[in-house]
Amino acid sequence: MKRLSVMLAAAAGLAISAGTAMADTTLKMVEVITSPPRTEFLKKQIAEFEAANPGVKVDLVSLPWGQAFEKFLTMVQAGDTPDVVEMPERWMGLYANNGQLEDLGPYMAKWADAKTLGERAKEFGSTVNNTQYMIPYGYYVNALFWNKKLFKQAGLDGPPATLDEFIADAKKISALPGKYGYCLRGGPGGFNGMHMFMNIADGKGGYFNADGTSTMNDPGSVKGLQMLADMYKDGLAPKDAVSWGFNETVTGFYSGTCAMINQDPDALLGIADKMSADDFAVAPMPVGPTGKSFPTLGYGGWAMFANSQHKDDAWKLMATLLSPKDNLDWAKEVGVIPIHNGADQDAHFKTEQFKGWFEELSDPSKYEMVTPPTHLENLGNFVDQVAIKNFQEVLLGQKTAKDVADEWAAFLTKEQQDWMAKNKK
Amino acid sequence: MTYAVPEIRSAGASRRKRLSYAAVEPWLYLSPAIVLLIVVLVVPLIIGISYSFRKFSAFKSEFVGLGQYHAMLSDAVLGQALVNTLWWTVASLFFQFFLGLGLALLLDKPFIGRKLVQAVVFLPWAVPSFLSGLTWAWLFNPIIGPLPHWLFVLGLRSDPSTSILSDPATAMWGPIIANIWFGIPFFAITLLAALKSIPAELHEAAAIDGASPWQRFSKVTLPFLAPTIVITVMLRTIWIATFADLIFVMTGGGPAGSTNTVPVYVYVSAFKSLDKGYASAVAVLLLALLIVYAIALIGIRRSLVRHV
């Protein structure tokens, strides 16, 4: 009898544990902008979430950024969709326009932390169809890193405030043996910098006029593109920079090869490791002929797939990662500007290195942030392939700035006007 | 459609059984391999060819008939990619083969430290191609890599602050140099195995007859190696022509498309431009060119075998 009761108890125990196992939820989460320390940090935040939410497990898939676009798209095409995905701004049009992302508006309406969420997070997460398809976890704002030592050696006492000063300073620094004024980024990811200088020289931010025609071939924009080509041709940037990506420009800066780069706060992590804080600072981008500047503002965020079977748990995970505490820690770790109001008061962000970014963010009359037209489906290919190849052709003198700007304008005008026609209904 | 079946049916029952079993037995043994071949080779090939008649975007596709092939005719980027592929393949193959042959001849003879040389020669084969590409890219980097400085010292570059990878005129040499390093072991290993199979008596007889080293090589060694050379050159050509890892990692096809080869273009068309249809059409073109090349080389090998 005793044996029977033990067996019954064991069977009941097994049944209960099986029941618990069946009640467990496993959320699939994909991160696409990865580095080993960043992934470790995310895993730590996930572990805390799992501890606070028994029964919910998170299965994290980390894709290397270099192949993330095609790998993730292949996963989605094969029906292997995650519950939560890290969404770079330029992919949003592709997935949102195809009805694959969940509208986060209703979830945000019941979210306690929404009251401190900055307006920009709501604005940038809902650029497609005015629907909150993602919530940014931080901003990549471009500003100008400058090497104090090299400036001093060239007889300069501060960063350039205008585009003309930028070129003049680059000239003076490039006169130093083996040194260059500007770490141009001609290779992967070079579009941001190139487009930003086109906007600054044009005195007008963004990509389009109200009628959907592109501003890429405005005379001012062409002048900005030509300016970069001239700087390259005149030796104000290293010859090698024609194919430089993120790592090369950052290396070029901290090794003291060139005195200025335009970069986002994520570059600060590597640079601060290699350079003394006294030797460099970050200034706002120089202004153009109209006295205005147009720094690019990129962002990544978290989005939920509409076909998720565990939407409530997926939202819980997103809400945890986007809470003021987790977001502040995340911003410090990955090098982005945090999304909740008041985060700039944190001691971490009150250094000379962050001054440039917060100055840009705090003066909208002088600094107009330019975000990519994320609603366009073919933006990723244009930015990552077409524009880079053409930019290199301009730098190498194989095509003129005007011809390339005209090509870009024709492409973007068609994309935008098609989108406008489709969204009129 | 009335081939062998009526005949078999008209025969006696036991004979029919024997005949059909005898006919079926080899196919039974072969069937796993045939199924495997169909699944991993024929099906993807058919899918690839069928894709080439469609136009794709990320989540949609439409039938366009020969439209993709027609678009290829006026695609200047493809024209440049074909020229780049030819250059990349011929230069890589030429140096891989002759350096591999030289090493095989060297390693065929006993000398002190042969084992060490053997290990060093075969090392590149053990390194993943992606890693090789990254390493070579850093070696060519003018800020942290040593090669720009040494190319300058040797008088091969006029400016040590630039990499050959950033100059459209020389960029292709970067991946080619990496590929030569990467591919030498293949020729060294296969040709060394072929050298070992040549009967020693033939060399001894030739030496007794007073043949010079060059005569022994050209009249004894080379004819024996010839069939192996043709097959290895054919295989390697196909592999190099379709090999994109090193180029992708080292230059990404740039600057300004100067290292864009057909496989890189296929990859970019399929996964960046999201047009799998066009990528498939370009891949079919490359496949057709390589089949023609392989058939020609197989013909050469047959005539060589007849003459050996």
- Spell out the SS3 assignment of A192-248: HHHHHHHHHHHCCCCCECCCCCECCCCHHHHHHHHHHHHHHHCCCCCHHHHHCCHHH
Quick check: B143 contacting A, CB < 8 Å?
yes
Q: What residues does A147 pair with on adjacent strands?
A: A280
Q: Is the pLDDT of residue A5 over 50?
A: yes
User: Percent of chain B at pLDDT above 90?
Assistant: 51
Q: Is the pLDDT of residue B45 over 70?
A: yes
**Joined tokens for residue A271:** 């640079």
Q: Is the pLDDT of residue B3 over 50?
A: no
Kindly report, residue by residue over A273-332, the tens digit of the pLDDT.
899 989 999 999 999 999 999 999 989 999 999 999 999 999 999 999 999 999 999 999
- Residue in chain B closest to A66 (alpha carbons) equals B249
B167 vs A239: CB contact, 8 Å cut-off?
yes
Average pLDDT over residues A245-274: 91
Asked whether this complex has an ipTM greater than 0.95, the answer is: no
pLDDT value at position A364?
Answer: 84
Segment 53-92 of chain B within 8 Å of chain A by CB: 57-59
Q: Is the pLDDT of residue B308 over 70?
A: no
Kindly report, residue by residue over B106-119, the tens digit of the pLDDT.
998 888 888 888 88
Of A273-287, B3-17, B66-80, B294-308, least confident by mean pLDDT is B3-17
* Chain A residue numbers touching B144 (CB-CB < 8 A): 251, 255
**Joined tokens for residue B282:** 């370009």
Distance from CA of B252 to the nearest CA of A (A): 9
Asked whether A163 and A288 are in contact (CB, 8 A), the reply is: yes
Quick check: B159 contacting A, CB < 8 Å?
yes
Segment 267-296 of chain B within 8 Å of chain A by CB: 268, 270-274
* Chain A residue numbers touching B162 (CB-CB < 8 A): 238-240
Distance from CA of A251 to the nearest CA of B (A): 8
Amino acid sitting at position A318: M
pLDDT value at position A35?
Answer: 85
DSSP labels for A258-313? EEEEEE-THHHHHHHHHS-TTTEEEEPPPB-TTS-B--BEEEEEEEEBTT-S-HHH
**Which of A73, A188, A242 faces B58 most closely, judged by CB atoms?**
A73
Average pLDDT over residues B221-245: 92
- Residue in chain A closest to B265 (alpha carbons) equals A385
> Would you place residue B246 in the very low, low, confident or very high pLDDT band (cuts 50, 70, 90)?
very high
Say if strands B61-63 and B54-56 run parallel, antiparallel, or are unpaired.
antiparallel
pLDDT value at position A23?
Answer: 52
pLDDT value at position B184?
Answer: 93
Distance from CA of A2 to the nearest CA of B (A): 56
- A interface with B, Cβ–Cβ < 8 A, is 69-70, 73-74, 77, 94, 98, 178, 186-188, 238-243, 248, 251-252, 255, 257, 377, 380-381, 384-385, 388-389, 392-393, 395-396, 398
Cα A423–chain centre separation: 26
CA–CA separation, A191 and A174 (whole Å)? 24
pLDDT value at position A280?
Answer: 94
CA-wise closest residue to A146 among A307, A246, A67, A263? A263
Asked whether B182 and B205 are in contact (CB, 8 A), the reply is: no
> Would you place residue A250 in the very low, low, confident or very high pLDDT band (cuts 50, 70, 90)?
very high
> Would you place residue B31 in the very low, low, confident or very high pLDDT band (cuts 50, 70, 90)?
very high
Average pLDDT over residues B61-85: 93
Cα distances (Å, whole numbers) of residue B99 to A162, B93, B164, B182, B217: 56, 10, 22, 12, 16
Average pLDDT over residues B226-244: 93
> Would you place residue A15 in the very low, low, confident or very high pLDDT band (cuts 50, 70, 90)?
very low
Kindly report, residue by residue over B97-145, the tens digit of the pLDDT.
999 999 999 998 888 888 888 888 888 888 899 899 999 999 998 878 8
* Chain B residue numbers touching A252 (CB-CB < 8 A): 143
Q: Is the pLDDT of residue B307 over 60?
A: no
pLDDT value at position B303?
Answer: 78
CA-wise closest residue to A136 among A303, A269, A385? A303
Burial class (CB in 10 A: 0-12, 13-18, 19+), A248: buried
CA–CA separation, A112 and B8 (whole Å)? 82
> Would you place residue B91 in the very low, low, confident or very high pLDDT band (cuts 50, 70, 90)?
very high
Distance from CA of A25 to the nearest CA of B (A): 29
Collect all residues with Cβ–Cβ distance below 8 Å to B70 and sequence separation of at least 6.
Answer: none
User: Percent of chain B at pLDDT above 70?
Assistant: 93
- Residue, of B112 and A410, whose pLDDT is higher: A410
Q: Is the pLDDT of residue A7 over 60?
A: no
B256 vs A396: CB contact, 8 Å cut-off?
yes
User: Percent of chain A at pLDDT above 90?
Assistant: 67
Q: What residues does A298 pair with on adjacent strands?
A: A140
**Which of A238, A243, A257 faces B251 most closely, judged by CB atoms?**
A243
Average pLDDT over residues A200-217: 95
**Other CB atoms within 10 Å distance of the CB of residue A311:** 15
Of A39-53, A59-73, B89-103, least confident by mean pLDDT is A59-73
Chain A to chain B, count of Cβ pairs less than 8 Å apart?
Answer: 81
Q: Is the pLDDT of residue A14 over 50?
A: no
pLDDT value at position B18?
Answer: 57
Q: Is the pLDDT of residue B47 over 70?
A: yes
> Would you place residue B204 in the very low, low, confident or very high pLDDT band (cuts 50, 70, 90)?
confident
* Chain B residue numbers touching A398 (CB-CB < 8 A): 168, 256
Q: Is the pLDDT of residue B23 over 90?
A: no
Overall size of chain B counted in residues: 308
CA–CA separation, A244 and B137 (whole Å)? 11
* Chain A residue numbers touching B58 (CB-CB < 8 A): 73, 77, 94, 98, 377
Amino acid sitting at position B284: V
Quick check: B213 contacting A, CB < 8 Å?
no
DSSP labels for A379-397? HHHIIIIIHHHHHHHHHTT
**Joined tokens for residue B230:** 């043709």
pLDDT value at position A20?
Answer: 44
pLDDT value at position A165?
Answer: 97
Average pLDDT over residues A193-199: 96
Of A37-46, A149-158, A415-424, B181-190, least confident by mean pLDDT is A415-424
Collect all residues with Cβ–Cβ distance below 8 Å to A269 and sequence separation of at least 6.
Answer: A334, A335
Average pLDDT, chain A: 90
Bin A18: left if φ > 0, else alpha if -120 < ψ < 50, else beta. Answer: alpha
Average pLDDT over residues B143-169: 85
> Would you place residue B15 in the very low, low, confident or very high pLDDT band (cuts 50, 70, 90)?
low
pLDDT value at position B14?
Answer: 55
Computed on alpha carbons and rounded to an integer, the radius of gyration of chain B in Å comes to 25
Kindly report, residue by residue over B256-288, the tens digit of the pLDDT.
999 999 999 999 888 888 888 999 999 999 999
Average pLDDT over residues A204-213: 94
CA–CA separation, A111 and A116 (whole Å)? 10
Say if strands A25-31 and A84-88 run parallel, antiparallel, or are unpaired.
parallel
**Which of B58, B141, B254 faces A392 most closely, judged by CB atoms?**
B254
pLDDT value at position A40?
Answer: 94
> Would you place residue B1 in the very low, low, confident or very high pLDDT band (cuts 50, 70, 90)?
very low
CA-wise closest residue to A84 among A329, A300, A341? A300
Kindly report, residue by residue over A61-120, the tens digit of the pLDDT.
999 887 888 899 999 989 999 999 999 988 888 899 889 999 999 999 999 999 999 888
Q: What residues does A140 pair with on adjacent strands?
A: A298
CA–CA separation, B255 and A388 (whole Å)? 9
* Chain B residue numbers touching A239 (CB-CB < 8 A): 159, 161-162, 166-167
B254 vs A70: CB contact, 8 Å cut-off?
no
Q: Is the pLDDT of residue A1 over 70?
A: no
Collect all residues with Cβ–Cβ distance below 8 Å to B298 and sequence separation of at least 6.
Answer: B234
> Would you place residue B220 in the very low, low, confident or very high pLDDT band (cuts 50, 70, 90)?
confident
pLDDT value at position A223?
Answer: 97
Cα distances (Å, whole numbers) of residue A100 to A94, A303, B38, B81, B272: 9, 10, 35, 36, 20
Q: Is the pLDDT of residue B192 over 90?
A: yes
pTM for the full model? 0.81
* Chain B residue numbers touching A74 (CB-CB < 8 A): 271
A257 vs B166: CB contact, 8 Å cut-off?
no
> Would you place residue A22 in the very low, low, confident or very high pLDDT band (cuts 50, 70, 90)?
very low
